[in-house]
Amino acid sequence: MTDQSLIILGASGDLTARLLLPGLGALLAAGHVPGLQLIGAATEDWDDARWQTRVSESFGFPYEKTRYLRADVTHTDDLRAVLAAADGPPAIFFALPPAVTARACEALLDADLPDGTRLVLEKPFGVSSETAAQLNNLLTRLVPEDRIHRVDHFLGKSTVLNILGLRFANRIFEPLLNSTHVASVDIVFDEDLALENRAGYYDRAGALADMIQSHLLQILGLLAMEPPTSLDAGELRDRLADVLRATHIWEDNPAAFSRRARYTAGSLRSRHLPGYAEEPGVDPSRNTETLAEVVLAVDTWRWAGVPFRLRSGKAIGDSRKEAVVTFRCPPRVPDGLTGHDQPDRLRIGFGPDKLALDFNINGPDDPFELDQVTLEAGFGPGDLPPYGEVLRGVFDNDPTLSIRADVAEQCWRIVEPVTAAWAAGKVPLLEYPAGSPGITDSLLTP
């Protein structure tokens, strides 16, 4: 499709420079959206030449069909001027602080958006189910829901398809993925990155809101959803919403089934890191957690009784990013065979996406002694970086990767009891040294 235009509000910001422009460059280089008109806007006093240089450097090739407009996006008149510069109905990317995004949406109410306008929003979508609902109401006064793209760049299209392909295009896994055969599911995103100068955002979010409420619940949805009949966006998003509606904190007891911690000073890959509370821009009295863990119940026929443990930590020595399905033990192993104390596990690793299956076979030496072995395979990588995939979905009017309004609200509803229990001091804020494995003394187990 030609004659598309993209307006980036917040063109001088970090997201635009680090992720958005490189993703867009990759999309254009792959031959998508030929002739795209790109408009950048922010309050910074830049001119077209400075912006063009930034765009061309990010893309890795010169790009001239772009201009920069100085605008305060909370003012309707400024927004009108930006919209007037677009050739056709634009996609508007809000690369803005969340509070500014909400004010820009209010200002757009009077800006006469052209039919066909698409809105692209970054997480966080609100800070609670109530604020998410307010934002959603505002957005649907601007454009229909199917033209709203709530971006979750963590789940690239290839990761979504990899999980669906594994589950639903094989006879040998899916029949086992239920409470009869599965003992527990862990979804872990422990990263070796620390705060990396993002205190302004992170200190108000923390691991629960930054990772579990958004990204890890999306993975839970894909792993636990019922089979969709097609990859149609409406169908997939319905199945995702079904399973998230059935999800809640284990026994509705966040004091027992959630955990929080923050890192203290330590050393990570021979780099000394200050404790989180000493990082510039952090207000230690906020008690922001850099590691969060929750146990969830998915109350469906398929999954009732199976704990889903979700965990994410920063500044962890051994970064580990995977979903692990742990199977129940076999009902009876013949007397005489030994070494079968480890359960079978299906592990899906993220970035790069890979698959591993741990199971017990008769080992190389004593044939009575079983050994756990691992079969491994790589999933196909996507052909675009995550933001390239996100933008392709926007330009193709394909909302598959976008978080639907009700799903955004459900994800807040699931974690809200935890936030409330933490605020009420019912769960202690533990500590772990940066570079350590985090909190490992005991698993949160029902």
Interaction pattern, residues 254-293, with ligand NDP; x per rule: CB under 6 A = ----------------------------------------
Residue 144 to residue 140: CA distance in whole angstroms: 5
Interface with ligand NDP, residue 246, by CB under 6 A: no
Interface with ligand NDP, residue 97, by CB under 6 A: yes
Span from 66-74, 106-114, 128-136, 323-331 in contact with ligand NDP (CB under 6 A):
66-74
Strands (E), 144-257: 148-150, 182-190, 247-249
Our CB check for ligand NDP shows the closer of 123 and 150 to be 123
Our CB check for ligand NDP shows the closer of 98 and 313 to be 98
Cβ-contact 220, 296 below 8 angstroms: yes
Cβ-contact 14, 196 below 8 angstroms: no
Our CB check for ligand NDP shows the closer of 19 and 295 to be 19
Interface with ligand NDP, residue 10, by CB under 6 A: yes
Our CB check for ligand NDP shows the closer of 73 and 421 to be 73
Interface with ligand NDP, residue 138, by CB under 6 A: no
Residue 39 to residue 138: CA distance in whole angstroms: 24
Interface with ligand NDP, residue 446, by CB under 6 A: no
What Rg do the C-alpha atoms of the chain give, in angstroms? 23
Residue 80 to residue 130: CA distance in whole angstroms: 30
Q: Least distance from C-beta 20 to ligand NDP, angstroms?
A: 8
Residue with tokens 């909190």: 439
Interface with ligand NDP, residue 15, by CB under 6 A: yes
Cα distances from 188 to residues 262, 266, 291, 389, in angstroms, run 17, 22, 11, 23
Interface with ligand NDP, residue 322, by CB under 6 A: no
Cα distances from 190 to residues 37, 64, 123, 146, 278, in angstroms, run 39, 41, 20, 33, 21
Our CB check for ligand NDP shows the closer of 74 and 300 to be 74
Interaction pattern, residues 176-205, with ligand NDP; x per rule: CB under 6 A = -------------------------x----
* Helices 129-140, 98-108: crossing angle, 10 deg rounding: 30
H or E element: which one contains 422? helix 405-423
Q: Least distance from C-beta 409 to ligand NDP, angstroms?
A: 18
Our CB check for ligand NDP shows the closer of 75 and 328 to be 75
Give 352's DSSP letter.
T
- Per the residue annotation, which of 32, 181, 215, 272 is the catalytic one? 215
> 277 — phi, psi (to 5°)?
-65, -20
Size of residue set near ligand NDP by CB under 6 A: 22
248 is catalytic: no
Residue 45 to residue 68: CA distance in whole angstroms: 10
> 211 — phi, psi (to 5°)?
-115, -50
Q: Least distance from C-beta 128 to ligand NDP, angstroms?
A: 16
Interaction pattern, residues 29-48, with ligand NDP; x per rule: CB under 6 A = -------------xxx----
Residues tagged active-site: 215
Contact positions vs ligand NDP (CB under 6 A): 10-15, 18, 42-44, 71-74, 95-98, 100, 122-123, 201
